Structure 1
Amino acid sequence: MIGRPEPAHSGWSSLTPDITPLLDIIFIVLVFLMLTANIPLQSLEVDLPKTDSEALSHIQDNESVTINLLAGSPAWALQGEKYEDWEQFKPVLLSQVGTLKDTELVLASDKEVTVDKMLKLLAFLQEYQIQATQILMEDGE
């Protein structure tokens, strides 16, 4: 049988460290890194308009219904026709529910409109299962 030759200084071999546990840990970490490095990243591609005019032309090309939230009085508008308060505006929306479901809906709000008006309108749209396809916003500049 082939054996390891005994060194001349038998005390010298006891001073060399055993690196077997270190190699085991290195291989475990290496396998872990190799297995986790190949996880595919999931992404969602979104086509954003390159210019404001491109987005505006897309809205103008399609037949759409526009609901405006205005600051002050009158507070609401549907296709340019203005209404003073929600009690006047809600019956008009109820009469247009079928049209609102079938066409593209655009919500346009003044930046000084309070959030409760927008929430009231969104709650109405959700109650009647109407999808808002465009929400116009102003840049924060």
Structure 2
Amino acid sequence: MIGRPESGHSSWRTLTPDITPLLDIIFIVLVFLLLTANIPLQSLEVDLPKTDSEALGAMVETKTMTINMLAGSPAWALDGQEYADWQQFKPILVEHIDALKETDLVLASDKDVTVDSMLKLLAFLQEHKITATQILMDDE
């Protein structure tokens, strides 16, 4: 019969394999499989236009009005139509108030325009409850 030597336990330990690295690898693979096995694939449905004309039609439908604040005279412009001063320009804005509320409003200002002009226009827009505006700024 084969037996182990009685002299010491150190030689017995050298005969058995060390499975600690194998267990580490098994646990790492097990954790990886558990984390990746049940992840549901999420998708986002996108409705693409079937033709180019549909895409262009959607872009053309949005109307914009532009109010320009200019340095010097004329000082104001609405969609390219110029006005000399605020007293001349304000009645025109009042006439177009419904159109200003329905369209996208773009404010474009010259860099040399005074703050007073901007405040007059913003106060007018606030008074008439026009909130959705875009302000164009020039990069320097």
Provide the TM-score with structure 2 as the length reference. 0.56
From the superposition, tell whether residues 64 and 111 of structure 1 become closer, same or farther in structure 2 (CA, over 3 Å): same
- What amino acid is the match of 2:122? L
Query: How do 1:9-28 residues align onto structure 2 when only pairs under 5 Å count?
Result: none
Give structure 1 stretches of 5+ with no counterpart: 1-58
The corresponding residue for 1:115 is 115
Q: Does 1:78 align with 2:57?
A: no
From the superposition, tell whether residues 79 and 136 of structure 1 become closer, same or farther in structure 2 (CA, over 3 Å): same
Q: SS of the residue aligned with 1:130?
A: coil
- What amino acid is the match of 1:82? E
For the Cα contact (< 8 Å) 1:74–1:83, is it kept in 2? yes
Q: Deviations over 1:48-83 (max 9, x none)?
A: xxxxxxxxxxx9873100000000000000000000
The corresponding residue for 1:103 is 103
| Cα displacement (A) at 1:135 | 0.4
The corresponding residue for 1:63 is 63
Count of paired positions: 82
For the Cα contact (< 8 Å) 1:107–1:132, is it kept in 2? no
Give structure 2 stretches of 5+ with no counterpart: 1-58
The corresponding residue for 2:125 is 125
From the superposition, tell whether residues 88 and 60 of structure 1 become closer, same or farther in structure 2 (CA, over 3 Å): farther
CA distance in 2, matches of 1:60, 1:66: 16
List, as ranges, runs of 4+ consecutive aligned residues in structure 1 with deviation greater than 2 Å.
Answer: 59-62
